[in-house]
Amino acid sequence: MTPAGKTRRRNRTGKLWRRVKRYRFIYLMTLPVLAYFLVFSYYPMALGIYNSFREVKLLGAASFAGLNNYRTIFSSPVYIQAFVNTVAVGSGKFLLQFIWGLLLAVLLNEVHRKAVRSAFQTVSYVPYLLSWSVVGSIWITLLSPSGLVNGLAQLFQGDSYRKIVFMSERSHARAIMIFTGAWKDSGYTAALFLAAIISINPVLYEAASIDGATRLQQIRHILIPSIRPTVKVVVVLGMMGLLRNFDQIFVMANSSILDKVRNLLYLIYNEGIVQFRIGPASAAACVVLLATMAISFTVRHLIRYDQLS
Amino acid sequence: MKKILSVLLAVTLLTGLFAVTSLAEADGGAVRMLVAVTGGKDAEEMALFAQALGEATGLTIEMEKPADYNTTLMQKLSAGESYDLIYLNADMYMNLVQQGALTDLTDFISASEILTNNVPPSEWEDLKVDGRICAGFNKRELHIVVNLNKVMLEAAGIDYKAVEPTLDGYYQTFKALRAANGSPDFYPFNTVLSQNWDLQPWMSAAGLKGGVVADEDGLTYVPYATDAAAPVWEWFKKLYDENLLDPSSFVDGTGDMRNKMNAASRLTAVDVDWAAWVGLHNANAAAGGVSTQDYEIVSLPGCRTPEGAYRLRKGSASLFAVPVNASNVEGAVKVLEYFATQEGGLLLSLGIPGHDYTVDNDGNYTLTEIGASHAMDHGAPVPIYTGFVNPIGLNLGVEEALTYIDYAGIETIIANENDYKSIVGKWAISMVRGEIGIPEGLAAMRSELVAMGICQK
Amino acid sequence: MARKSSGLWRRNELTAPQKAVMWLFLLFVGITTFLPMWNVIVVSTTTALESTRSGIVLWWRQFSLEGFQYVFSVCKLGRPFFNSFLVTTVGTVIQVFLSSIAGYVLVQRDLPFRGAITSFILLTMMIPGDLTMISIYQLNRDLKLLNTYQGLILNGLISGFSILLMRNYFESISYTLSESARIDGASEMRIFARIYMPVSLPGLATVFFMEYVGKWNGITIPAAILTNENMYTLPLKLKAMILTTSSVSGTAQIPDNAIMAAIVISAAPLLIIYVFAQKFLLAGLNLGATKE
């Protein structure tokens, strides 16, 4: 390094140090939060990662296992299948939830009576507040042979109709999980979008309508581009949750469709909690963590949502 | 803001003190138990239960009851926490024995008069893994019987005692029930096919036993997946094709099945369920003001085996084991001994004397209001002690169901029971729906069972 | 929304067929949500025997409040309700406070290492619970937090999501205002308390609501650290009520009307809070942080 470069560097670090000093109180304010995450998130995570490299016995000494746990899960056809299921159901649900939520938000915005809009918004948000054990059992009943869906189909098709046992149809299994998953969470997505939509400056619409744009054109050319920042955040949040869908599958799966929908977290539960095999379960959880990070970083890189203008 | 925060912190610290409890010492030392179904129904009753158990055994009993038992047990054991007794069901028992986490109790059991005399030897035999026994009993397991709606059968002109104990006999019964009740939501027969719950009364027609069995060469196999089971699967397919089997059987859980069987719905006339459920259905109907003229459940032992006997399944054990890091094994064994006596049985069923039930001077037992709401179940509706007598008496229909217990045996305990159930269930449903031929379906079932390491052939 | 003349009004509407599609969609969403909720309410207010009727029940054959009586007298739901209410409320209040501080830190434009701090916080949102299942228990045991209110409050006290939400809300607040205050010599605490806080009510209410829902429904942490039934939270009690082990060979079960009543009781507070929070939610949830 040339002497000139050295001075430049020293200047830069000096400047950095001055800036750090200037913000010392800000750092102090962050300290409790960072300390909290260190203790309650990172420390347990580190222990979990450590366990994934060991053969852990419930009682008694654990031994170092190298990559054995990882080898176990990567050579198991069940894990491969679970990974496929996770991605298929997860991305399907995300897409449908995204479209459904956006549609719901745009349509709610078209409802002018405030009371009506508020009522619909509340109703669509409620499933998000309930747990899967409630929502899951409701849909299982609705889709059962004596349930509402078969009842409606019979009404239209007459007596020759043979009832469909939806929850045991292997070809419908993933679609049902995707649909019910989106049904539960789309009210929440809609709320996120609606929040962005109502903050759009009304002057923009007025200008467009003076130019002769129809309402649909306004939605297409003004509304959608204006909420782009929210779209980005929704995508990133969706990606972070893509691989984490335990409760729904746990409540709604049954043996005839299990191998179509059983996902990684379900397997981890069965391995770690039911059969007490902590090593492979930790390894699989690590894979979920790594995959989530990879997906999130790729998406963040692609859409650079957290970059400030 | 600071003020608010400090007040909040003070509040949380103060309220935390409620959680601290202290225990008095007793002679036999302390026994720490982690329980799932055993004990009181709330915190107060839990304390009374522990106290009653402590007084009877001369120990200081500490009982903890987590809500999510499996998860908590795993967390506590892997954190090295020391318990003297932990509750286990059969497949957890197998998993923990395989991991070497349980104390070998064989010598303690053979040295104990109570444990050898008050518990049938066959029960101990079922717990043996490589000749060792690593647990004692929480309760006596009952068996599963065929439940029938007597009133519906009579309406179809059938006396339930005259049902021929063959697959065809039941098929004719279902057909008569269907003819007598044309409602589209009614199905004569319902069973939880997805968890193969419980096929034993029907499989016995082919002389087959559930679970995993070893052949003469020591190779393990699943009898339900053999070609010998084909006639029974054909029978199920016929029931489905002719609208006699509720198609919800593919997806229903036991809860759905029971709801359809009960007095409020009456959407099915025959199912297979625990002996105790015969009585519960009747008791619930009585509590809801439905008379036995309109609704009564009775039981039968299912199909006769080719040898002319019956074969029913007994519930897999509910146990208490001693982890290897326990500090008071003697105390733990004392508790197991107490559970195998009449007094211990009373505590596990009726509950705590004075709280759940009272005894008058003539020795008559009466349940208190609290006791009645706990339905004589504080962990063991039927205790393990062979000579146990329930002084209150049993629900209507249970006595008859209990007469079939000699036909019942347990399935071999396997560690990956869930995989077994879901694989058999999946192919069973495919075959019954006619998506795959019976021979092909059975072959596929076998190969998947072998691939998942559940059996060898 | 300003729609001044009737001519503009008309053009700002969807066409009739478009409107028909819109109402069909909204009705579908409305009905599929409403019917199941109604079912829960009806079943919770019927008799024990009636509540076991199979299928979707939409009207009473017999009205009865015995399910509600049962959950309070037999299941003793009062204490778990109080526990849930206490830890959720205290925890959420502290969380709103801490998240707004962290959010405030993250909007400081030329704060050195801001990116690193952001990533440090965001990464915590990706850790799957299964990975920490065992260690979380050990941690709580070592910190003496088992079976305590402190433990219930401390675990999950802060979340990356609530910080993100506050940060995005703060970003819609003029940065120049705080810059000039800083040049005037105002302390950070003062800028935070006097400039940011007063205009952030919608953001704070939103974080409060979102986290209240999460904590109120949370089950993993209570399940891991509680074994004393006096400390049970509502979801844990619900789970214990529905609990079935694989060898329940005939245990008397809690009737369905009582279980549904417990579900109604556990969902009611969230619905009440939602009614109050709805007003703020739309302003506070604006993650896009449009800065016009």
Which of B223, B93, B204, B198 lies closest to B143, judged by CA?
B198
pLDDT at A147 over 60: yes
pLDDT of residue C9: 44
Does A80 contact B at CB distance below 8 Å? Answer: no
Tell me how far apart the alpha carbons of residues A136 and A253 are, in angstroms, rounded to a whole number.
Answer: 10
User: Closest Cα to residue C247, out of B252, B210, B411?
Assistant: B411
Separation CA C186–CA B295 (nearest Å): 80
List of chains touching A (3+ CB pairs within 8 A): B, C
Is position B256 within any domain? yes
Neighbours of chain B (3+ CB pairs under 8 A): A, C
Residue C213: enclosing H or E segment and its boundaries? helix C201-217
Pairwise CB contact (< 8 Å): A192 & C55: no
Q: How many alpha carbons fall within 13 Å on the CB side of residue C118? A: 21
With contacts defined as CB-CB under 8 Å, which chain A residues touch B430? 256
How far apart, in whole angstroms, are the C-alpha atoms of residue A185 and residue A190?
9
Yes or no, beta carbons of A59 and B416 under 8 Å apart: no
CA–CA separation, C13 vs C17, rounded Å?
A: 11
Residue B335 confidence (pLDDT) above 80: yes
Per residue in B117-132, pLDDT (tens digit) is 999 888 898 889 889 9
Give the rounded percent of residues in chain B with a pLDDT score beyond 70. Answer: 94
Contacts of A58 in chain B (CB under 8 A): 74, 77-78, 96, 99, 101
Q: Which amino acid is at B61?
A: I
**Taking CB atoms and an 8 Å limit, are C102 and A265 in contact across chains?**
no
DSSP lists the bridge partners of residue B357 as B353, B367
Q: Is C135 within 8 Å of A43 when comparing Cβ atoms?
A: yes
Token code pair at residue B278:
């015969």
pLDDT value for B1: 46
- Answer yes or no: do B74 and A276 touch at CB < 8 A: yes
pLDDT for res A220: 86
pLDDT attached to residue B2:
47
C150 closest CB neighbour out of B13, B42, B67: B13
Same domain, B352 and B435: no
Judge: A240–C154 Cβ closer than 8 Å, yes or no. Answer: no
Is residue B14 in some structural domain?
Answer: no
DSSP bridge pairs for A63: A55
Report how far residue A235's alpha carbon sits from residue A299's, in angstroms, rounded to the nearest whole number: 8
Q: Pick from B411, B398, B410, B425: which is nearest to B145 by CA?
A: B398
Give the whole-angstrom CA distance, residue B399 versus residue B86. Answer: 32
- Cβ contact A163–B247 (<8 Å): yes
Token pair 């009653």 in the structure block, residue = B52
Q: How long is chain C?
A: 292
Joined tokens for residue B332: 């733990």
H or E segment and range at residue B144: strand B144-149
- Cα dihedral A53, A55, A57, A61, rounded to 10, equals -90
Any CB–CB contact under 8 A between C252 and chain A?
no
Q: Do C11 and A104 touch (CB under 8 A)?
A: no
Tokens encoding A100 = 């459904």
What is the DSSP-derived secondary structure letter of residue A145? Answer: T
- CB-CB neighbors (< 8 A) of A258 in chain B: 422, 426
Please give the average per-residue pLDDT across B401-430, as a whole number: 86
- Judged against a pLDDT cut of 50, whether residue B216 lies above it is answered with yes
Is residue A191 a part of any domain in this protein?
A: yes
Report the pLDDT value the prediction gives residue B14, as an integer from 0 to 100: 44
Contact status, residue B378 vs residue B347, Cβ threshold 8 Å: yes
Q: How many residues does chain A have?
A: 309
Write the DSSP string, C166-192: HHHHHHTS-HHHHHHHHHTT--HHHHI
| Nearest chain B CA: its distance from A125 CA (Å) | 28
How many C-alpha atoms does A237 have within 13 Å on its Cβ side?
19
Contact C135 A44 (CB under 8 A): yes
Q: Count the Cβ atoms, other than its own, within 10 Å of residue B157.
A: 9
Predicted local distance difference test score (pLDDT) of residue A237: 86
Q: Are residues B251 and A163, on separate chains, in Cβ contact within 8 Å? A: no
What does the pLDDT look like over C93-146, one tens digit per residue? 999 999 999 999 998 887 888 889 988 998 898 888 878 878 888 899 889 999
Question: Is residue B227 classed exposed, middle or buried when 0-12, 13-18 and 19+ CB atoms within 10 A define those classes?
Answer: exposed
Q: What is the pLDDT of chain A when averaged over all its residues? A: 85
Q: Which of B326, B353, B384 is the last residue of a domain?
A: B384
With bands split at pLDDT 50, 70 and 90, how would you rate the model's confidence at A303? confident
The confidence score (pLDDT) of residue A99 equals 95
- Asked if pLDDT for residue B381 goes beyond 60, the answer is yes
pLDDT in tens, C6-23: 444 444 677 888 888 888
Reported as type and span, the H/E element at residue B189 is strand B187-189
pLDDT digits (tens, 9 = 90+) for B230-262: 999 999 999 999 999 998 888 888 888 888 898
The band of C187, judged by pLDDT with boundaries at 50, 70 and 90, is confident
Residue B144 CB burial class (10 angstroms; 0-12, 13-18, ≥19): buried
From the CB of residue B245, how many other CB atoms can be counted at a distance below 10 Å? Answer: 24
Q: Which residue has 């000093």 as its token pair? A: A21
Residues B183 and B324 in one domain: no
* Separation CA B186–CA B21 (nearest Å): 55
Grade residue B161 by pLDDT with cuts at 50, 70 and 90: very high
Distance CA C252, CA B88 (A): 20
Residues 208-247 of C with CB under 8 A from B: 219, 222-224, 226-232, 236-237, 239-240, 243, 245-247
Asked if the structure places residue A41 within a domain, the reply is no
- Give the start-end residues of each E strand in chain A: 54-55, 63-64
Q: Which domain holds residue A106?
A: 68-129+170-303
The chains found to touch C (3+ Cβ pairs under 8 angstroms) are: A, B
Band of pLDDT at residue B195, cut at 50, 70 and 90: confident
Sort out which chain C residues have CB atoms less than 8 A from B41's CB and list them: 74
Coil, strand or helix at A237: helix
For chain A, how far is it from start to end, CA to CA, in angstroms? 34
Q: Is the pLDDT of residue C53 over 80?
A: no
Q: In whole angstroms, what separates CA C41 from the centre of its chain?
A: 21
B11 touches chain A (CB under 8 A): no
Q: Is A57 on the interface with B (CB under 8 A)?
A: yes
Contact A126 C54 (CB under 8 A): no
What is the per-residue pLDDT across B274-299, written as a single tens digit (0 to 9) for each?
A: 888 898 889 888 888 889 999 999 99
> Do B437 and B335 share a structural domain?
no
Per the DSSP assignment, residues forming a β-bridge with B272 are B146
Q: Where are the beta strands (DSSP E) in A47-91?
A: 54-55, 63-64
**Average pLDDT for C231-239:** 87
Higher-confidence position of A147 and B181: B181
Please tell me which residue of chain C has the smallest CA distance to B33.
Answer: C227
Nearest chain C Cα distance for residue A252, angstroms: 16
Interatomic CA distance for residues B208 and B27, integer angstroms = 52
Examine the pLDDT at C3 and tell me if it is beyond 80.
Answer: no
Cross-chain residue pair A276–B248, CB shorter than 8 Å: no
- What's residue A70's pLDDT? 93
Handedness of CA C196, C211, A44, B63 (dihedral sign): positive
Enter the pTM of the model. Answer: 0.82
* Stretch C265-285: mean pLDDT: 85
Residue B276 CA to residue B78 CA, distance in Å, equals 36
* Residues shown for chain B: 457
Cβ–Cβ gap B195/A255 under 8 Å? yes
- Provide the number of structural domains found in chain A: 1
What CATH number is attached to the domain comprising B331? 3.40.190.10
Q: C85: closest CA among C259, C249, C233?
A: C233
Whether residue B395 lies inside any domain: the answer is no
Which amino acid belongs to residue B121? P
May I ask the CATH class of domain C78-243+277-284?
mainly alpha
Give the per-residue pLDDT at B23. Answer: 44
Tell whether B84 and B224 lie within a shared domain. Answer: no
What was the pLDDT predicted at C6? Answer: 40
Chain A residues whose CB is inside 8 A of the C1 CB are 202, 205
Q: CB distance from C150 to chain B under 8 Å? A: yes
Q: C198 CB near a chain B CB, below 8 Å? A: no
Q: Domain count for chain B, please give it.
A: 2
| Contact assignment for C155 to A40 by CB distance below 8 Å | yes
Query: What is the rounded distance in angstroms from the CA atom of residue B446 to the CA atom of residue B164?
Result: 32
Q: Is C149 on the interface with B (CB under 8 A)?
A: yes
B47 and B121 share one domain: yes
Hey, what are A131's tokens? 């747990």
Q: Do C131 and A45 touch (CB under 8 A)?
A: yes
- C-alpha B426/C-alpha B416 separation (Å) is 16
* DSSP-assigned letter for residue C268: H
CB contact under 8 A, B1 and C97: yes
- pLDDT at position C90, please? 96
The pLDDT value recorded for residue B18 is 40
Residue B135 has pLDDT above 90, yes or no: yes
In a domain, B3, yes or no: no
Q: In whole angstroms, give the CA distance from residue A51 to residue A283.
A: 8
Residue C98, chain B, CB below 8 Å: the answer is: no
Tell whether B178 and B274 lie within a shared domain. Answer: yes
Q: What share of chain A is helix, strand, coil (3-state, %, to 5)?
A: 75, 0, 20
Q: What residues form DSSP beta bridges with B300?
A: B146
CA distance linking residue A95 with residue A99, whole number of Å = 6
Domain that holds residue B275: 144-313+407-451
DSSP SS3 for B61: strand
The rounded distance, in Å, linking the Cα atoms of B90 and B97 is 11
C-alpha closest to that of C118 among C85, C71, C76, C167: C167
CATH number at residue A190: 1.10.3720.10
Tokens describing residue B317: 């054990």
**A78 chain-B contacts, CB cut-off 8 A:** 452
The amino acid present at A79, given as its one-letter code, is: Y
Q: Residue range B317-344: average pLDDT?
A: 93
Question: Closest Cα of chain B to A80: distance in Å?
Answer: 14
Position B301 pLDDT exceeds 50 = yes
Structure tokens at A37: 């995450």
Distance from CA of C256 to the nearest CA of B (A): 10
Q: What per-residue string of b and e applies to B256-294 under the rule 16 or more CB within 10 Å gives b?
A: bbbbbbbbbbbbbbbbbbbbbbbbbbbbbbbebebeeee
Could you read off the pLDDT of C189-212 as tens digits, one per residue? 888 888 888 888 888 998 999 899
Tell me if residue B245 falls in helix, strand or coil: strand
SS3 B299: strand
CB contact under 8 A, C288 and A214: no
Is there a contact between B194 and A272 if contact means CB atoms under 8 Å apart?
no
Chain A interface mutation, best of C4, C9, C24, C132, highest count of A Cβ atoms under 10 Å? C132
Q: What is the pLDDT of residue B35?
A: 92
**DSSP run (H or E) holding C201:** helix C201-217
CA-wise closest residue to B344 among B15, B71, B115, B79: B115
B15-58 pLDDT tens trace: 444 433 334 444 678 999 999 888 888 888 999 999 999 999 99
CA dihedral A167, A173, A175, A177 (to 10 degrees): 70
B322 and B308 in a common domain: no
A-B CB pairs within 8 A amount to 88
pLDDT in the model for residue B334: 94
Backbone angles phi, psi at A136, to 5 degrees: -60, -50
Cβ of residue C56 closer than 8 Å to a chain A Cβ: yes
- CB B67 to CB C226 under 8 A? yes
Provide, as residue numbers in chain A, all residues whose Cβ is less than 8 Å from the Cβ of C158. 33, 36-37
pLDDT value at residue B20: 38
Each residue's pLDDT tens digit, A78-118: 888 999 999 999 999 999 999 999 999 999 988 888 888 88
Q: Mean pLDDT for chain B? A: 88
What percent of chain C lies above the pLDDT cut of 70? 89
Rounded Cα distance between C56 and C54, Å, is 7
Interchain proximity C227–B34, CB inside 8 Å = yes
Confidence (pLDDT) at A199: 82
Contacts for A285 with CB less than 8 Å, ≥ 6 apart: A48, A52, A268, C128, C130, C131
Using CA coordinates, name the residue in chain A closest to C218: A131
Q: What is the pLDDT of residues A239-276, one digit of tens each?
A: 888 888 888 998 888 888 888 999 898 888 888 877 78
Three-state DSSP class for residue C227: coil
On whether both B98 and B188 belong to a single domain, the answer is no
ipTM: 0.85
